[in-house]
Amino acid sequence: MSFLNKIIRGDRVIWTIFILLCMVSIVEVYSASSTLTFRKDYWEPIWRHSKFVLGGVLVVFLANSVPPKHYRWLIFGLPLAWLSLIYVKLQGMSVNGADRWLSFAGISFQPSEIAKLLLIISIAFILSRRNYIAPKTGFYWIVGLSVITCGIIFIDNFSTALLLFGVSFILMFIGQIPIKLLFKLLLCLVVGGGLLFAIVYYMPENTIKKVFPRGATWKERINDFTQKDTTEDKYEITDDNYQVAHAKIAISRGGLFGKLPGNSRERDFLPQAYSDFIYAIIIEEMGLIGGLAVLFLYIMLFIRSGIIANRTELLFSKYIAMGSALILTTQALVNMAVAVDLIPVTGQPLPLISRGGTSTLINAIYIGIILSVSRFDNPKGVQREEAVAQAMEEEALAAKEKEIETII
């Protein structure tokens, strides 16, 4: 029996996608981290990122070895995530004008990433109990948990809160929450969001910076995006449209086949070349073909996860697999849309590729959960795991018999 069969457990397609994304991540982060190496150790940025990628691989192995049914116990950690989100507003580390980081024992992490994972698991659990919980009751529970989680995140990270609530909404649709309830929720969101937008947009700048600092940032981003086609004398240069401009240059330089890894020019001008705008660097170095290949990997991740979820008869496993795939692919599409200037700058990294610590490890857990479902609650996956276990036993027995024959 091959060595790979012993260690690669779960769906092979998901494993292949994950490994390919990790390979792209190491190459492109190494290339895009030139600004971090200035007057520092040349190898430190890529060494740090490689350690997190390796840690992510180990996390996938660990998460993959846990049967999906055990993940439901993590729902009790959601209130703790709320407390950590509140604490980060009071004592957290500020990055780019937003308090999003906590430091514990010398390790910095983003509580919002953990809260996202726990909310997805909680929604999957509630949806899986539809035979015991009335649809309306389950709907109110999901909305309540989502509003609290997204509401706290919203204070300093509007794009993450909006993305997470959108994934929650899609999960409710997949979970067969009555359309009437979803329509009412959507109507409330549109009206409430419109009012909030109007208040933030027309509130005096001095007032909004005091009351809601991140609102001022988003107001600038919307203005940058909507006024990008105005005349030059009316177009104010800001950090966001500076990044978008250089992202466009990177994409235009890439052409069809790209300049090859290590030959990017715009990595020296893009402040977040290794994170928020890494997709532009991928296109510059790997061309349109490379950019489409990366997009294809995320689409295949979603499709394959849907196939895995469809095969399992256990509702919790079905919803947790779909929720994990949704959060990864949605965030990836948002990052790509920003890089090609389809939507305003959001600050969302490219999952499993962008440089980062907490996000890399949490994204690895999502992959591990999908693999766990394919391994334990997928009929074909169970048959394969049983065949692998039997083959390992036969190998061990054959080795023991051979050892006895040698002694005799």
What domain range is 393 assigned to? 380-408
Q: Are residues 313 and 408 in the same domain?
A: no
Does 236 score more than 60 pLDDT?
no
* Per-residue confidence band for 270, with pLDDT thresholds at 50, 70 and 90: confident
Q: Are residues 97 and 166 in the same domain?
A: yes
Q: Are residues 138 and 261 in the same domain?
A: yes
Does 235 score more than 50 pLDDT?
no
Q: Are residues 365 and 398 in the same domain?
A: no
Does 133 score more than 90 pLDDT?
no
Average pLDDT estimate for 339-345: 83
Does 120 score more than 90 pLDDT?
yes
H/E/C letters for each residue in 90-109?
A: HHCEEECCEEEEEEECCEEE
Q: Are residues 202 and 117 in the same domain?
A: yes
Q: Are residues 388 and 332 in the same domain?
A: no
Angle, alpha carbons 123-125-126 (nearest 5°):
65
Q: Model's pTM, two decimal places? A: 0.86
Which pLDDT does position 346 carry in this prediction?
81
Q: Are residues 387 and 302 in the same domain?
A: no
Q: Are residues 17 and 81 in the same domain?
A: yes
Q: Are residues 270 and 320 in the same domain?
A: yes
Q: Which two tokens stand for residue 227?
A: 């006024």
Q: Is the CB of residue 127 less than 8 Å from the CB of residue 171?
A: yes
- Per the model's pLDDT, the better-predicted residue between 119 and 208 turns out to be 119
Q: Are residues 260 and 384 in the same domain?
A: no
For the chain, how many structural domains are there in total?
Answer: 2
Does 162 score more than 80 pLDDT?
yes
Query: What is the layout of strands, in order, in the sheet containing 93-95?
Result: 93-95, 98-104, 107-109
Q: Are residues 372 and 385 in the same domain?
A: no
Residue 39's φ and ψ, nearest 5 degrees, are 60, 25
Alpha-carbon gap, residue 179 to 184, rounded angstroms = 9
Q: Are residues 392 and 347 in the same domain?
A: no
Q: Per residue in 353-372, pLDDT tens?
A: 998 888 899 999 999 999 99
- Per the model's pLDDT, the better-predicted residue between 37 and 147 turns out to be 147
Which pLDDT does position 195 carry in this prediction?
85
* Per-residue confidence band for 95, with pLDDT thresholds at 50, 70 and 90: low
